[in-house]
């Protein structure tokens, strides 16, 4: 067989063999970093007998495909430790997840922090003892007998559901054995750095009718640095949690009397969302977009005609029935914009493209259990746009939208983003019109290429009305957020009877591009709070400067400074409370106010302010007019501080 090493080199191995044996007999050093291998694109572990003519590619720990294997193996180690300490604990499931792994246990009492410490210590032992992960394939009856003896009732339930003909395998490491499909790492000794993170209740199979189990989350990396970096980021993400910061900074609240997922924005929160929307509005106007207004409720019948009812009804709020006619809260703008297009009369190709943008609050019937702060809400104010154009204009309109998206993301300091191009694929769920799908897909790809944007095609994930490009932007913590989207639609315009008179004098159906820049104001604000850790750029800060008189006698001068700032539109406040100056500075820092303007005798005498940044930096004394000029520039240039 031909074995490809991680560095690209290859070597040959004669005959059929287990991967483990190949490595042991060729280069034992590889056992330290190789986690598995790929055979014809499929992951295989150390126990798989590879055919003599196989071409295999070794997977090392730094490959993204290795992580789930590595981490899932650790979940076995966790379960092993639990069984050692609590022998009657019953095992449920223990998969790898995005950031690590978990294992669900049925135990008599929830795990305490002390339990977690003990478990970590026990896991370290297991790792030190360096048991190989040994695979055994058994018959269904044998498996049943084994699990019954072990009294693993959850595992028995899983076993019963395995389809007939499925290979049934167990993995054993030392004193622990678990029903498991694999693959696994070579042995527990391969695990280098791990950490148990937290415990949470979790219903068996996620169904609240079932028993609540105890889920232990953990993560693992190969290097200490990676683990530390991860834990640091996790700590940072906790500190930046927009739900916590939103409260600390007094930006928004939820009220049980209003309803779940329906945020209330305070004056400080509202000004941020207003500025966000105003900024996009201004940019859109410059890009030749026009704004429209279409309200919040629509006859349900329209969504039946547009196709949304069939594809989307579960995401709509229950109807309001007015004299037998059902109305819905608007879950999307497209049919409304299309009706406006129609009401406006006959359109000529000369009038196209028409770009209708709207900041409308849409309502999505998210399950209340899935709501989370601002990033998963029921009220979604989209920066939405529908571009009515001819088929020939798809590419140029897509490019225009792309550039707008890039410019806006850059302003918010999102430097990295990637594009997921969702295409039709081969599933039967899309209305067939090969030519249109083909043309639209080609136009999108051409526009992305022309703008040198890398993209990853995903087959079978398009919207019901056409292909789409979703933008995933990376925040400061390296997390990806799906924000912008540009979608091609050649289904709805025809269904709703849209027309334009083309150059040939005949009636044609326009194409519509659906486009959102930041997605929704609510969600993007949640993302921004975490991205900036609450320290908004000056132009977005609810309070841009706070004036701090050292003592009461400086209050009148402080008031004068405040008025000067306010008169030019700077959002300034005065903190003349009885607290010490240090306390007031600390408070302003916690409120992430960009500038603190301390005024005492000297400042008063010289008509100055002593400027401190929320970062702690001291800019020294500046004349009031000089500071006004300074902050106005910061605002105009949308600088962070």
* Residue ranges that bind a second copy, judged by CB under 8 A: 250, 253-255, 257-259, 262-267, 269-271, 273-274, 290-299, 301-302, 305, 317-322, 325, 327, 329, 335-336, 339-340, 342-344, 356, 361, 363, 365, 379
**Among 83, 135, 424, 468, which one carries the catalytic annotation?**
468
Cβ atoms within 10 Å, residue 347: 17
Catalytic residue among 90, 514, 531, 592: 514
Nearer to a second copy by Cβ, of 143 and 379: the residue is 379
Mark whether 468 is an active-site residue: yes
**How far is it, in rounded angstroms, from Cα 404 to Cα 409?**
9
| Residue 232 among the catalytic residues | no
Q: Can 604 be counted among the known catalytic residues?
A: no
Active site residue 273: no
Shorter beta-carbon distance to a second copy: residue 85 or 297: 297
Q: Give the span between the Cα atoms of 541 and 195, in whole angstroms.
A: 37
Tell me, rounded to whole angstroms, the distance of Cα 264 from its chain centroid. 23
> Catalytic residue among 180, 334, 385, 389, which?
334
* CB closer to a second copy out of 136 and 294: 294
* Cβ nearer to a second copy, comparing 194 with 279: 279
Contact 471, 517 (CB under 8 A): no
Q: Which is nearer to a second copy, 163 or 345 (CB)?
A: 345
Instruction: Quickly tell me which residue has 């992951």 as its tokens.
Output: 43
- What does the block give as tokens for 7? 């560095």
Indicate which residue of 382, 487, 544, 604 is catalytic.
Answer: 382
334 is catalytic: yes
Question: Is 384 assigned a catalytic role?
Answer: yes
Q: How many residues does the chain have?
A: 641
Minimum CB distance to a second copy, residue 232 (Å): 32
Does the annotation count 514 as an active-site position? yes
> Which residue among the candidates 173, 384, 470, 475 is catalytic per the annotation?
384
Handedness of CA 534, 537, 538, 540 (dihedral sign): negative
Closest distance to a second copy from the beta carbon of 507 (Å): 20
96: helix, strand or coil: strand
C-beta of 13 vs 363, nearer to a second copy? 363
Dihedral sign computed on CA atoms, order 292, 298, 302, 308: positive
Among the listed residues 83, 364, 378, 439, the single catalytic one is 364
What is the C-alpha separation between 174 and 73, in angstroms, rounded? 13
Q: How far is the CB of 281 from a second copy (least distance, A)?
A: 8
Of 269 and 493, CB closest to a second copy? 269
Distances (CA, A) of 44 to 35, 93, 136, 168, 368: 9, 21, 15, 16, 41
- Nearest approach in angstroms of CB 600 to a second copy is 24
Please tell me the number of Cα atoms within 13 Å of 538 on its side-chain side.
Answer: 24
What is the H or E stretch that residue 589 is in? helix 581-590
Please state the closest distance from residue 595 (CB atom) to a second copy, in A. 20
Smallest separation (angstroms) from a second copy to the CB of 639: 23
Place of tokens 């029903």: 179
Nearest distance in Å: CB 319, a second copy: 7
Cβ neighbors of 291 (< 8 A, separation 6 or more) are: 281, 284, 285, 356, 357, 358, 359
Name the maximum alpha-carbon separation found in the chain: 92
Q: Extract the runs of DSSP E, i.e. beta strands, from 344-415.
A: 354-363, 379-389
Record the tokens describing residue 573, joined without a space: 């406040």
Rounded to the nearest whole angstrom, what is the least distance from the CB of residue 501 to a second copy in the complex?
A: 15
- Peptide bond before residue 443 is cis, with ω within 30 degrees of 0: no
The nearer residue to a second copy, 354 or 516, going by C-beta atoms, is 354
As a whole number of angstroms, the distance between CA 246 and CA 297 comes to: 29
Active site residues: 334, 364, 382, 384, 386, 468, 514
């Amino acid at each position: 067989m031909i074995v490809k090493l991680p560095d690209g080199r290859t070597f040959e191995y004669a005959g059929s063999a287990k991967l483990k044996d190949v490595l042991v007999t060729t280069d034992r050093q590889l056992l330290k970093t190789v986690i598995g291998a790929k055979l014809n694109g499929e992951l295989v572990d150390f126990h798989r007998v590879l055919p003599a003519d196989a071409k295999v590619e070794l997977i090392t720990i730094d490959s993204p495909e290795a992580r789930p294997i590595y981490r899932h193996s650790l979940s076995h180690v966790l379960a092993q430790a639990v069984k050692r300490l609590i022998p009657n604990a019953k095992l449920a499931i223990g998969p790898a997840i995005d950031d690590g792994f978990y294992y669900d246990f049925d135990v008599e009492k929830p795990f305490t922090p002390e339990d977690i410490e003990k478990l970590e210590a026990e896991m370290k032992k297991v790792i030190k003892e360096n048991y190989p992960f040994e695979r055994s394939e058994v018959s269904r009856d044998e498996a049943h007998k084994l699990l019954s003896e072990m009294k693993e009732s959850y595992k028995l339930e899983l076993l019963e559901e395995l389809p007939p003909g499925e290979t049934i395998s167990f993995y054993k490491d030392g004193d622990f054995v678990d029903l498991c499909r694999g693959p696994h790492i070579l042995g527990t000794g391969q695990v280098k750095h791990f950490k148990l993170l937290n415990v949470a209740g979790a219903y068996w199979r996620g169904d609240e009718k079932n028993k609540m189990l105890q889920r232990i989350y953990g993560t693992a990396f190969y290097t200490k640095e990676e683990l530390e970096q991860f834990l640091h980021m996790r700590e940072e993400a906790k500190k930046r949690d927009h739900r916590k910061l939103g409260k600390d900074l007094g930006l928004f609240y939820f009220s049980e009397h209003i309803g779940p997922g329906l945020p209330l924005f305070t004056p400080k929160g509202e000004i941020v969302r207003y500025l966000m929307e105003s900024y996009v509005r201004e940019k859109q106007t410059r890009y030749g977009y026009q704004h429209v207004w279409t309200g919040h409720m629509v006859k349900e019948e329209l969504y039946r005609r547009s196709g949304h009812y069939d594809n989307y009804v579960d995401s709509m709020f229950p109807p309001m029935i007015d004299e037998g006619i059902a109305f819905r809260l608007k879950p999307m703008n497209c049919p409304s914009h299309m009706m406006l297009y129609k009401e406006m009369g006959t359109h000529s190709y000369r009038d196209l493209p028409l770009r209708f943008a709207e900041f409308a609050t849409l309502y999505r019937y998210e399950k209340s259990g899935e709501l989370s702060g601002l990033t998963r809400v029921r009220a979604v104010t989209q920066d939405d746009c529908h571009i009515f154009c001819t088929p020939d204009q798809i590419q140029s309109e897509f490019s225009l939208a792309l550039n707008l998206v890039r410019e806006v993301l850059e302003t918010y300091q999102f430097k990295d983003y990637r594009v997921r191009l969702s295409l039709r694929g081969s599933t039967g769920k899309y209305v067939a019109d090969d030519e249109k799908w083909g043309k639209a897909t080609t136009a999108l790809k051409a526009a992305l290429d022309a703008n040198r944007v890398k993209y990853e095609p995903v087959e079978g994930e398009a919207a019901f009305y056409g292909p789409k490009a979703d933008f995933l932007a990376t925040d400061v913590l390296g997390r990806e957020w799906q924000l912008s989207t540009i979608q091609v639609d050649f289904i709805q315009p025809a269904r709703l009877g849209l027309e334009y008179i083309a150059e040939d004098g005949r009636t044609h159906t326009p194409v519509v591009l659906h486009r959102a820049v930041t997605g929704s104001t609510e969600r993007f604000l949640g993302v921004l709070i975490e991205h900036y850790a609450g320290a908004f750029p000056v132009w977005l800060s609810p309070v841009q400067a706070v004036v701090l008189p050292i003592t009461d006698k400086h209050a009148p001068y402080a008031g004068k400074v405040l008025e000067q700032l306010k008169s030019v539109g700077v959002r300034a406040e005065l903190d003349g409370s009885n607290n010490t100056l240090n306390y007031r500075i600390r408070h302003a820092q916690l409120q992430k106010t960009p500038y603190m303007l301390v005024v005492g005798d000297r400042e008063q005498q010289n008509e100055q302010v002593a400027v401190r940044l929320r970062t702690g930096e001291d800019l020294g004394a500046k004349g009031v007019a000089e500071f006004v000029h300074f902050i106005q520039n910061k605002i105009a240039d949308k600088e962070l501080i």
